[in-house]
Amino acid sequence: MKLSTRKCLQTATVLTFALIVSTQLAPSALAKSKDHYLNLQLFAKVMNLVQKYYVEEVDTKKLIYGGIKGMLQELDPHTNFLPPDIYEEFENETSGKFGGLGIEITVQDSILTIISPIEDTPAWEAGLQAGDKIVSIDGNSTKGLSLAESAQMMRGDRGSKIILGIVREGLKGKKDYSIKRGTIKIKSVKYTDMGNGYGYIRLTSFIENSAKDIKKTLAKMVKQNKKIKGVILDLRRNPGGLLDQAIKISDFFLDEGTIVSTIGRDKENKKVVDASKADSYTDFPIVVLINEYSASASEIVAGALKDNKRALIMGKRSFGKGSVQSVVKMGDGSGLKMTVARYYTPSGVSIQAEGITPDVKIDEVDAEAFKKAIINRKVKREADIDGHLLSEQKAPKSEKSGSIFNWWETANKKGKGKNTKEALLNDFQVLQAYNYLKAYKVMKGI
């Protein structure tokens, strides 16, 4: 639809009338109202001039959408205008099945940045990493693009290819990654039985079924072991997702206390979510692993369990995405995704730009170097010396080796332990988390 000069002038007249009406306001409110409507008049005047004198005829909707986009870019990276086609895709993102690459992105220092690739997706398999800077998409610069626009450019038909230009710390210059798009089916909960009542739960994202799958996993552990002795909850590289899933998962491990609170512009209007006693698992220790790419919903869970003294948080300080977005559907099918509040942990600490600080800071160690060091680690004891004197109670042969993995002998006889061994051999932080759970058992005498 073409906006005529007459209609533009009518718009300015309406704004002027509103300005006259506003003179009935209080002096302070009047000043703000006056500036507000003068700025709207300026917008209408510029639009009128473009419509009248620009060298080519322009699309009015394109101008308006562009104006809204420019306005929102003055706010934060998570506040975006979603045209109808992007809004429709946005509604399908959290269902656990959608087309694309499988990455969570943000804007850092005006550069499109990967928070984390989601496991078992095309982006993960192509070798994209958390912290990678996306400087081009199919040869087009990403400079100035909003998150919504960038996400739309990266989506496409299943099987089609996309080329991402990546700048990464440690790499010289830009490296192009050619990735084949796929249908992203996310299995967010991955479980490994560590044997003897211990379990490792990897949560890759927070989607519609995450809480339900966590509950099934815990029930499975109880059924197999009668009693859970300890759980490692791995939230590293988890970019977040649905708030209600974070609340439900936190609630599983708490029977009282605050889970999270949100505060918007009105500081007096504080919304608090408390834990309930229903379906609670509170009789075993938990270690939560986080790192600098654990964001949003991950931070809510980590903060809730930390402040309620329910879990030990290990790893590195989290990403710090602690803002609340609300999505409003507009009349033409478009949407406004807008930041409306900040998240706070139970102790009142804002997550935004701060993140969750772990109780025990542990750096990640190169997997191959760590694995090699563990495998080659041999300690000689009296029992290893030829002709050693036996004790009255003969030590079992499994104690002869200095390996820290002796406990696998029993687990492997029962068909367990293989995945756990691989996890511990390749992951220093998981090993330290497991050691804490074992130490907790000793200290508590259980």
Sign of the alpha-carbon torsion through 350, 357, 312, 105: positive
Amino acid letter at 243?
A: L
Convert the pLDDT of each residue in 114-156 to its tens digit. 988 888 889 999 999 999 999 999 999 999 888 888 888 888 8
Rounded-to-integer distance, Cα 47 and Cα 9, Å = 10
User: Position of tokens 């300026």?
Assistant: 42
Convert the pLDDT of each residue in 6-35 to its tens digit. 444 344 434 443 444 444 555 666 666 677
| Residue 93 φ/ψ region, left for φ over 0, alpha for ψ in the -120 to 50 degree band, beta for the rest | alpha
Over residues 200-209, mean pLDDT: 92
Over residues 360-389, mean pLDDT: 71
Domain 97-185 part of CATH 3.40.1550.10: no
Rounded-to-integer distance, Cα 413 and Cα 41, Å = 78
Rounded-to-integer distance, Cα 356 and Cα 353, Å = 10
Cα 360-422-211 angle, rounded to 5 deg: 65
At 162, give phi and psi (nearest 5°).
Answer: -140, 145
Convert the pLDDT of each residue in 281-326 to its tens digit. 999 999 999 999 999 999 999 999 999 999 999 999 999 999 988 8
Over residues 383-397, mean pLDDT: 65
Over residues 373-400, mean pLDDT: 62
| Residue 145 φ/ψ region, left for φ over 0, alpha for ψ in the -120 to 50 degree band, beta for the rest | beta
Buried b (16+ CB within 10 A) or exposed e, 245-259: bbbbbbbbbbbeebb
**pLDDT at 170 (0 to 100):** 87
> Looking at residue 390, what DSSP letter applies?
P
Rounded-to-integer distance, Cα 283 and Cα 446, Å = 11
Q: Which residues are catalytic?
A: 296, 307, 321
Rounded-to-integer distance, Cα 340 and Cα 78, Å = 10
Buried b (16+ CB within 10 A) or exposed e, 371-389: beebeeeeeeeeeeeeeee
Q: Quick one: tokens of 320?
A: 């710090």
Q: Quick one: tokens of 361?
A: 């800071």
Better pLDDT: 128 or 381: 128
Convert the pLDDT of each residue in 220-274 to its tens digit. 999 999 899 999 999 999 999 889 999 999 999 999 999 999 999 998 899 999 9
- The distance in angstroms from the start CA to the end CA of the chain is 74
Among 59, 43, 65, CA closest to 336:
65
CATH class for domain 189-361? Answer: alpha beta
| Chain centre distance of CA 340 | 18
SS3 content of the chain, % helix, strand, coil (to 5): 40, 25, 40
Distances in Å between the alpha carbon of 246 and those of 132, 218, 250, 355?
A: 26, 16, 6, 16
Least confident residue range of 15-24, 64-73, 291-300, 421-430: 15-24
Kindly give, in sequence order, each residue whose CB lies less than 8 Å from that of residue 203, ignoring residues fewer than 6 positions away. Answer: 188, 189, 190, 210, 214, 233, 234, 235, 238, 249, 298
Give me Rg for the CA atoms of the chain: 28
Give domain limits for the chain: 5-58, 97-185, 189-361, 368-444
